[in-house]
Amino acid sequence: MLIKNAKVFIDGQFQDVEVQFDEKGITAIGNGLKDDEVIDAEGKYLYAGLIDAHVHGGWGRSLVAIERTDEFGDMEQQVSYLCNRFPSTGVTTFFPTINADWSDYATLGKITRAVRNVKKEGVKGAYPLKMHYECAFLTLERYVDQCKDWMAPANKKDSDIMVDHDYSDVGIISLAPETEGALDYIDYIVAQGVMPEIGYDNATAEQVIEAADHGLCQATHLYNGYRPMHHRESNANAAVLYDDRIKAQLTMDGVHVNPFWVKLTIKIKGIDNVYGITDFSSNAGLAEGWHEYANGMRFETRDGFNYHENGHLAGGSNAMNDMMRRAHNIVGLSREEVGSLYAESPAKCLNITDRGKIEVGRKSDLVLMDDDYQVYTTIIDGKVFYQK
């Protein structure tokens, strides 16, 4: 199959080239290519299939808790629905992001097994590549207050239970690196092929740098879930900005992080060390007003965003293509910057080499969008999966 007349995003810029591919991968990039099957992009923008490394659910379905099964089916059905629906937003690969609630081992295990069962049975749609365990071992006070009776420092025993004693498809585990034993724990999960991630912590910058010496390499949605920066204080935000070994996730909807801070982060770290996420949640898209989680906690939907009773934002409310639109229109990033942050940087920052860039030999996962980031066509493994 061949896509022609597209603005093709490669290496941080749009190029007037054609892209040829089959079910095994991208086979050629150039001009004057010939093929029996041709898609005329009519001037639209062609990106590599998008990778969302931080997503909790969507459209009522959850990867955080087993809930609303009467309405949306069991956990496997909800995961399958998300796989099927994400391509309509441009996402072809995602990291199921699971909040590690240690008060309920059973649910944590069921969610993990549900994702693995869907993969085993055969995924239709976006592929849940690696598991991402957020809030696994935290210390930041406003979150600890919700779980102080059961929260533990980072440790091998609880971690093994969390992943159901299998690290083979675990991508990221978050932790507070200042706790006793955290460095030994980082060594342990790095040896399992897992990327340690900072977030929800009280670490000094010096402690974060020491953790990076042991392999800490990711920062969950920078600035959200961190102590505020102060010029007389050493903290995690400063360390992430300083140390390019630590790749920074950003929620670039213009609300979670002020546009100036987004631009400053990109300027300091360089665009290859920052990548966009959605933090999309099951509660995205709800009607304005007050709602209740399955655990009884209340939150308010206001102007399209969700807020806890304490005023803090409650997860992401925009799907991937909507994030790209907001990053361009509200944050004020150029179209090239948006393309880098969402269509190439995720693969670079997550050490993914078989997809996430339009390059010969990589997976034939591709997305066509118009200039307002509306998804028109999503191709997975060389076949059209979604068509507007």
**Residues 168-178: pLDDT tens digits?**
999 999 999 99
Mapping DSSP to helix (H, G, I), strand (E, B) and coil, where does residue 308 land? Answer: strand
* 303 and 385 fall within a common domain: no
Q: Are residues 180 and 271 in the same domain?
A: yes
pLDDT at 150: 53
Structural domain of residue 17, as residue ranges? 1-48+358-388
Do residues 41 and 154 both lie within one domain? no
- Predicted local distance difference test score (pLDDT) of residue 308: 80
**Coil, strand or helix: which one is 105?**
helix
What pLDDT score does 41 carry?
Answer: 98
Q: What is the pLDDT along the chain (388 residues), one digit of tens a residue?
A: 999 999 999 999 999 999 999 999 999 999 999 999 999 999 999 999 999 999 999 998 988 878 788 888 999 999 999 999 999 999 999 999 998 766 666 778 888 999 999 999 999 999 999 999 998 898 887 666 655 555 678 999 989 988 999 999 999 999 999 999 999 999 999 999 999 999 999 999 999 999 999 999 999 999 999 999 999 999 999 999 999 999 999 999 999 999 999 999 999 999 999 999 999 988 887 778 888 776 677 888 888 788 888 777 877 889 999 999 999 999 999 999 999 999 999 999 999 999 999 999 999 999 999 999 999 999 999 999 999 9
CATH code (residue 180): 3.20.20.140
Q: Are residues 10 and 104 in the same domain?
A: no
What is the structure's pLDDT at 67?
Answer: 78
Which helix (H) or strand (E) element contains residue 348? helix 345-349
Say if residue 176 is in the same domain as residue 41: no
Q: Evaluate whether 16 touches 8 at the Cβ level (below 8 Å).
A: yes
239 forms beta bridges with none
Find tokens 């979604």 and name the residue. Answer: 386
Domain check: are 10 and 129 in the same one? no
Residues 135 and 251 placed together within one structural domain of the fold: yes
Read off the amino acid at residue 188. Answer: Y
Same domain for 71 and 12: no
Give the pLDDT confidence score for residue 151 in this predicted structure. Answer: 63
Q: What is the pLDDT of residue 46?
A: 98
Phi, psi of 192 (to 5 degrees): -90, 0
Check whether residue 214 and residue 191 sit in a common domain: yes
Can you give the pTM of this predicted structure?
0.95
Q: Which residues contact 344 (CB under 8 A, 6 or more apart)?
A: 9, 11, 12, 48, 356, 357
Considering the domain architecture, whether residues 168 and 235 belong to the same structural domain is answered as: yes
pLDDT at 139 (0 to 100): 85
Strands 131-137 and 91-99: parallel
Same domain membership, residue 291 and residue 218: yes
Any idea what the CATH number is for the domain that residue 34 is in? 2.30.40.10
For residue 88, the 8-state DSSP code is G
Cβ atoms of residues 186 and 217 within 8 Å = no
Same domain, 54 and 184: yes
Dist. CA 50–CA 122, nearest whole Å: 20
Please count the structural domains in the chain. Answer: 2
* pLDDT, tens digit, 9 for 90 and up, residues 184-232: 999 999 999 999 999 999 999 999 999 999 999 999 999 999 999 999 9
Can you give the three-state secondary structure of 252-271, one letter per residue?
CCCCCCCHHHHHHHHHHHCH
Cβ(276)–Cβ(222) below 8 Å:
no
Residues 6+ apart with CB under 8 A from 370: 44, 45, 376
DSSP string for residues in 154-188: S-HHHHHHHTTT--TTEEEEEE-TTSTTHHHHHHH
Please name the amino acid found at residue 121. E
